């Protein structure tokens, strides 16, 4: 089985999943470009972005299909959310804080990344956290212990925050709140380049939006997260064929090919 959606005759853009995105900042606008690109290329039916105008302009230049909103517009009409990529909690203003807290308190499924991880305790619905080793250590208050026991830290964070934690590394550890865990080795270490985490967050957001009604079933959230991590690695391997250096955008651009291969394998199986 795959959690990647294939549209049928009765589907439309809304039934394929509407992803709300609150990412990027004036300092780091590219994170929003990468996450939105990945969400579209994973198969989201619609992507709606809440962001400063500069971020909106850059996203629209790359992906004009995206529907954009100001940070003070009501966060409604979506199936799942992606929060925090390209943001710094130390630079968060009141409008952004209010928006993030409203989304987290809504009960909708969320992918929480980077600059929204410090607000993870406010979530009222299913959440996937996507920290790297340093962010995970800070989340737990472990100081200089970053990466010393990534799997163990992921398990502690998952239990403490009632979340699925995707602890990014080599390997990446996916752990749910009950302690069920899986480790995924990337198909290529060329993923060790800036922005690939933003791509992962975007594809995970699209997968949650496309499967939002199934997330109440035990274990589904973690299974979707694990499939998303594998898909991310497969797209990177396609981009890095013959050991080519790659950028994060290269990974996003290979997602349709990786998605098609996974759907074909699932159908054949």
Report whether pLDDT(34) > 80. yes
Report whether pLDDT(269) > 70. no
Identify the band that residue 220 occupies on the pLDDT scale cut at 50, 70 and 90. Answer: very high
> pLDDT at position 16, please?
97
Report whether pLDDT(145) > 90. no
> pLDDT at position 1, please?
81
pTM, whole model, 2 decimals? 0.96
Asked if residue 2 belongs to a domain, the reply is no
Q: Residue 58 sits in a domain of what CATH number?
A: 3.40.1190.20
Asked if residue 246 belongs to a domain, the reply is yes
Asked if residue 225 belongs to a domain, the reply is yes
Identify the band that residue 144 occupies on the pLDDT scale cut at 50, 70 and 90. Answer: low
Its domain, for residue 94, covers 18-186+193-268
Asked if residue 134 belongs to a domain, the reply is yes
Mean pLDDT over 97-118 rounds to: 98
Domains identified in the chain, total number:
1
Asked if residue 13 belongs to a domain, the reply is no
Asked if residue 211 belongs to a domain, the reply is yes
**Beta-ladder partners of 128:** 111, 164
Asked if residue 146 belongs to a domain, the reply is yes
> pLDDT at position 142, please?
74
Q: What percent of the chain has pLDDT over 70?
A: 98
**Mean per-residue pLDDT of the chain:** 95
Report whether pLDDT(53) > 70. yes
């Amino acid at each position: 089985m795959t959690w990647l959606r294939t549209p049928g005759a009765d589907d439309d853009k809304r039934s394929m999943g509407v992803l709300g995105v609150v990412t990027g900042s004036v300092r780091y606008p590219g994170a929003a470009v990468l996450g939105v690109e990945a969400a579209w290329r994973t198969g989201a039916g619609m992507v709606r972005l809440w962001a400063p105008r500069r971020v909106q302009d850059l996203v629209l230049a790359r992906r004009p299909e995206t529907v954009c909103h100001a940070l003070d517009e009501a966060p409604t009409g979506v199936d799942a959310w992606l929060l925090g990529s390209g943001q710094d909690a130390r630079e968060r203003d009141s409008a952004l804080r209010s928006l993030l807290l409203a989304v987290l308190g809504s009960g909708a499924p969320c992918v929480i990344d980077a600059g929204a991880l410090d607000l993870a305790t406010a979530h009222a619905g299913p959440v996937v956290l996507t920290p790297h080793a340093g962010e995970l250590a800070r989340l737990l208050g472990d100081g200089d212990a970053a990466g010393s026991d990534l799997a163990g830290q992921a398990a502690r964070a998952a239990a403490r925050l009632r979340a699925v934690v995707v602890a990014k590394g080599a390997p990446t550890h996916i752990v749910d709140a009950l302690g069920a865990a899986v480790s995924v080795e990337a198909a290529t270490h060329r993923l060790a380049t800036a922005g690939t985490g933003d791509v992962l967050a975007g594809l995970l957001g699209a997968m949650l939006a496309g499967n939002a009604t199934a997330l109440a079933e035990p274990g589904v959230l973690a299974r979707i997260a694990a499939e998303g991590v594998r898909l991310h690695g497969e797209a990177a391997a396609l981009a890095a064929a013959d050991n080519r250096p790659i950028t994060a955008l290269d990974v996003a651009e290979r997602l349709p090919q990786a998605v098609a291969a996974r759907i074909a394998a699932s159908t054949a199986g």
